[in-house]
Structure 1
Amino acid sequence: MTRYLLYFLPGTGHLAAPLAHELGADIGEIEFHRFPDGESYLRFLTPPDGRHIALVDCLDRPDPKLVPLLFAAMTAQDLGARSVGLIAPYMPYFRQDVAFNRGESISARHIGALLSAHLSWVTTLDPHLHRLASLDDVFTIPGELAHATEPVARWIKAHIEQPIIYGPDEESEQWVRAIAEACDAPYDVFRKTRMGDKNVKIDVPASVDAGSHTPVIVDDIISSGTTLATLVRALCESGQPRPICCAVHGIFAEDAYEQLIAAGAAQVITTNALPHKTNAIDITRVLAEAARRIDLPQD
């Protein structure tokens, strides 16, 4: 079995030990420095030559992270790495997968082209594949998806008695249904109308009743927190018990976490795909399993 050499970019230290353990991989050292003018410097302290390496990078708030990532990939290739992969617990820029208006950048296609040009393969966790069938629609290099369904369902079963799983919109139904089935729990999905980045409406029918169940709102991402806060508030106003919010990717832009608590959330739980105080669900095993499915190039 090929033994990976992993390099953890800034912001991924929380994944280093568990991911290296799951993959049976070595950890390499890489030095990063940002100059006062914002430019980046990096140096491989552990030589990558002759090795299959993987760069591990949490690409939330991506713009300042993409240049160092690309420089690291290109430098590793210059130094003789056999292959250079990317393990990205969060993959950005997938929300724009078509041009809704003339002149718009299709960012999903462009981030795929940019990364494909400098990497050998990619693994990521539950990206926003709304109108995309697979990673092959974005990348021209081998890619493998990791899914948080099983670890999220396992956490819910272990910590919540009689859950009922709620999804904020139709996009979440497939994800919510899979978790509900794994938990042997009922579920419901609501209708969302987005009117702006921080302005959404969610219709909660008067007939919705959690009964003796504990409401658990599940979504793939908490960014501004507007969608989940709107649903939390609507459920509380309809007389439901205070819900628990559970998400794969906790970006928490600005005061998103505080908004959820203020709206009435009993608890906010995320995976450790992105570091945050709400992390309670470990996804390193499913990330490692996806990386192991990559068919590495052979000499």
Structure 2
Amino acid sequence: MLIFNPDSDPALAAQLTSLLDAQAGLLEQRRFPDGESYLRVHSDCTDQDCVILCNLFHPDKRILPLLFLADTLRECGARSVGLVTPYLAYMRQDKRFKPGECVSSRPFARLLSSAFDYLITMDPHLHRYHSLDDIYSIPSRVVQAAPLIAHWIQENISAPLLIGPDSESEQWVAQVAHLAEAPFQILQKERHGDYDVSVSLPDLDSATQHTPVLVDDIISSGRTMLETIAHLQAAGLPKATAIGVHGIFAGNAYEQLTKVADVVTTDCIPHLSNQIDIAAPLAAAVRELLAETVTPPN
């Protein structure tokens, strides 16, 4: 197996390469003076199962080189080409809210489905879709972050109270709470704009002996968590821990959050807040999908 990393996540790529007993694919990339991408594969990928690790957290600048690489590997004789993207972009626009809007999750899914044999990701935003199969036509695996987060909470936080920011988060926050053997509460969120979010809280007077743990799939602007933490502080709760699966941290979100909470994320997006390792379940998913989708050579 060859693992290619056309992205900026060498640490995760090295972990996957070791766990899968694979070889690191050799890749040359640069940009021409006019901004176009140059790509050359130096590894012999004839009859090889090739895995591309590409974090799509800034998708517009990464997607074209990614597609070029997938196509080149096929032309060079790869037996299979799979994509591991811990953060799957363009899942949040899953409905046409205004006339003429692009429901970008759908064309993006068609684009990736046409380029790869299978897809592995972690906790994609599946609000209005039942599963990735609703829009992706290739086999996929969703690696769940809940067991990893629950284990981290058990190891690092005493008397936690898990808090979900909105009703969308209830199902998987409840799962984390169950696995961590901790209580949880779900807040009501109202979004007025990209940076204008308000939340309402239940009565937390009886929870002052707990450490509040805010859990969300994506930390982007951080406004929801900041608003929630302000209410928690007003209620007299201890310093909160904010946990995100995907730490995007737009603008100065991380700096603002660290002033009022301990901030922890998974390794889905490389960041100094990473404390929850994801390599082992990703590697297991690669093994499973290869066994199911790729015909062994004679």
State the TM bucket, normalised to the shorter chain.
Answer: over 0.9
How many Å separate the matches in 2 of 1:104 and 1:60?
Answer: 21
Give the counterpart letter for 2:268 in structure 1: A
How many Å separate the matches in 2 of 1:208 and 1:144?
Answer: 41
Match 2:16 to one of 5, 15, 19: 19
**What per-residue deviation string (whole Å, max 9, x for no partner) do you get for residues 237-294 of structure 1?**
22221210001111111111012123x21x1000111110001010111111222221
Structure 1: where are the runs of 5+ without partners? none
Residue in 1 aligned with 2:278? 283
Residue in 1 aligned with 2:294? 297
Indicate yes or no: 2:181 matched with 1:180: no
Match 1:83 to one of 62, 80, 84: 80
- The secondary structure found in structure 2 opposite 1:253 is coil
Matches within 5 A, 1:140-159: 140-159=137-156
How many Å separate the matches in 1 of 2:183 and 2:208?
Answer: 11
Identical-residue share of aligned pairs (%): 44
Determine if contact 1:146/1:289 at 8 Å carries over to the other structure: no
Give the counterpart letter for 2:275 in structure 1: A
How many Å separate the matches in 2 of 1:217 and 1:30?
Answer: 40
Residue in 2 aligned with 1:106? 103
Task: Please state how far the C-alpha of 1:297 moved relative to its aligned partner.
Answer: 2.6
Residue in 2 aligned with 1:268? 263
Task: Please state how far the C-alpha of 1:36 moved relative to its aligned partner.
Answer: 3.8
How many Å separate the matches in 1 of 2:128 and 2:205?
Answer: 29
Match 1:72 to one of 61, 64, 69: 69
How many Å separate the matches in 1 of 2:283 and 2:67?
Answer: 22
Task: Please state how far the C-alpha of 1:21 moved relative to its aligned partner.
Answer: 2.0
Determine if contact 1:209/1:240 at 8 Å carries over to the other structure: no
**What per-residue deviation string (whole Å, max 9, x for no partner) do you get for residues 115-167 of structure 1?**
01111111101100011111101211111111111111111100001111000
Report the CA distance shift for 1:191/1:46 in structure 2 as closer, same or farther (over 3 A): same
Determine if contact 2:53/2:85 at 8 Å carries over to the other structure: yes
Match 1:224 to one of 218, 221, 235: 221
How many Å separate the matches in 2 of 1:268 and 1:207?
Answer: 22
Give the counterpart letter for 1:146 in structure 2: V
> TM-score normalized by structure 2?
0.95
- The secondary structure found in structure 2 opposite 1:38 is coil
Task: Please state how far the C-alpha of 1:35 moved relative to its aligned partner.
Answer: 2.9
Report the CA distance shift for 1:228/1:78 in structure 2 as closer, same or farther (over 3 A): same
Residue in 1 aligned with 2:253? 256
Structure 2: where are the runs of 5+ without partners? none
Give the counterpart letter for 1:59 in structure 2: L
Determine if contact 2:162/2:173 at 8 Å carries over to the other structure: yes
How many Å separate the matches in 2 of 1:220 and 1:113?
Answer: 24
RMSD across aligned positions (CA): 1.3
> TM-score normalized by structure 1?
0.95
Residue in 2 aligned with 1:160? 157
**What per-residue deviation string (whole Å, max 9, x for no partner) do you get for residues 21-58 of structure 1?**
22222211111112343221111011222111111001
Give the counterpart letter for 2:197 in structure 1: V
Determine if contact 2:143/2:281 at 8 Å carries over to the other structure: yes
Residue in 2 aligned with 1:45? 42
How many Å separate the matches in 2 of 1:60 and 1:81?
Answer: 26
**What per-residue deviation string (whole Å, max 9, x for no partner) do you get for residues 179-223 of structure 1?**
101111000000000011011010013445423111100011111
- The secondary structure found in structure 2 opposite 1:239 is coil
Residue in 1 aligned with 2:131? 134
